[in-house]
Amino acid sequence: MSQVPSNHPRESEKTAATPSSLPNRVPRPRLPEGIVGLAVFIVIGYWGGSQLSRLELDPVAYGLVFTALSGVAGIAGFAAAVLLRIRSLSPFGVCRTSRRWLLIGVGAGVVAFRVKGLAVMAYTAITGDTANPQTIYAEAGSGGGLSLILATVFLGLLTPLGEELLFRGVIANVLLRHGRPVFGVVSSALIFAYMHGINIVFPAALVMGLVGAELLRRSGSVWPAIVVHVVFNLPTVPVMVLAGMG
């Protein structure tokens, strides 16, 4: 088999634009991007969410808006971080990746989904806390076929896109610049989990955060982490509706 000429990088080298492989002239995400991104996410996601009750919406409509809110807040936070200084997507991991990494994302999502159940069981056994703050997602999907589809799309596609762009594309990339890789992976996952509150969602979000950040670190792209998150979230609303949680 002939060797690839040195001036024609292999596919994996072209698509894995890790922070260390970016040219020195390309700015990289720093702490200001992380702070601005999180601030916008908190304002839209938490303050905006607290204002929804004033609209006196139908429970299904309220649930649908609430289900979409995290994804919208994540996209807004990511956009604010990008526009702050760098104004380029590749330093945030929004770059092409290989089919292999996308398939790894699918497999990692299945494994993470299984591990999530064990993590939640361990959390409830230790704390005795069984309250689920995400039953509102079931309410969003309980209004019939259209509401079920919309709630599934919002939680299974929009939320992974927005949250991964912010928490992996911005936050993990910022923290991976400091110290050992394990610091960036673990600390970004903890921030992501904490944003979900200290409840039974925390261990599930921690599992998702660890897997997503590690895939970002290894692939240099945010897309495998988005795939993991889609696989992780997609069954949630249908399963909750079937279980009568709405």
- Whether residue 40 lies inside any domain: the answer is yes
Residue range(s) defining the domain that contains residue 221 = 28-242
How many angstroms separate the Cα of 196 from the Cα of each of 42, 139, 179, 192?
11, 19, 26, 7
Could you report the per-residue pLDDT of 93-112, keeping only the tens digit for each?
A: 999 999 999 999 999 999 99
Could you report the per-residue pLDDT of 154-180, keeping only the tens digit for each?
A: 999 999 999 999 999 999 999 998 878
pTM across the whole model: 0.88
Could you report the per-residue pLDDT of 147-160, keeping only the tens digit for each?
A: 999 999 999 999 99
Handedness of CA 177, 179, 185, 186 (dihedral sign): negative
Count of structural domains, the chain: 1
Could you report the per-residue pLDDT of 28-45, keeping only the tens digit for each?
A: 899 999 999 999 999 999
What pLDDT shows up at residue 234?
Answer: 95
- Whether residue 41 lies inside any domain: the answer is yes
- Whether residue 19 lies inside any domain: the answer is no
Mean pLDDT over each residue of the chain, to the nearest integer: 90
Is residue 51 pLDDT above 50, yes or no?
yes
- Whether residue 107 lies inside any domain: the answer is yes
Could you report the per-residue pLDDT of 196-231, keeping only the tens digit for each?
A: 999 999 999 999 999 999 999 999 999 999 999 999
Burial group, residue 132, by CB count within 10 angstroms (0-12, 13-18, 19+) = middle
Return the beta strands (E) in the chain as ranges. Answer: none
- Whether residue 51 lies inside any domain: the answer is yes
What pLDDT shows up at residue 12?
Answer: 41
- Whether residue 116 lies inside any domain: the answer is yes
Is residue 23 pLDDT above 60, yes or no?
no
Give the C-alpha separation, 94 to 88, whole Å: 9
- Number of Cβ within a 10 Å radius of residue 64: 23
- Whether residue 85 lies inside any domain: the answer is yes
- Whether residue 18 lies inside any domain: the answer is no
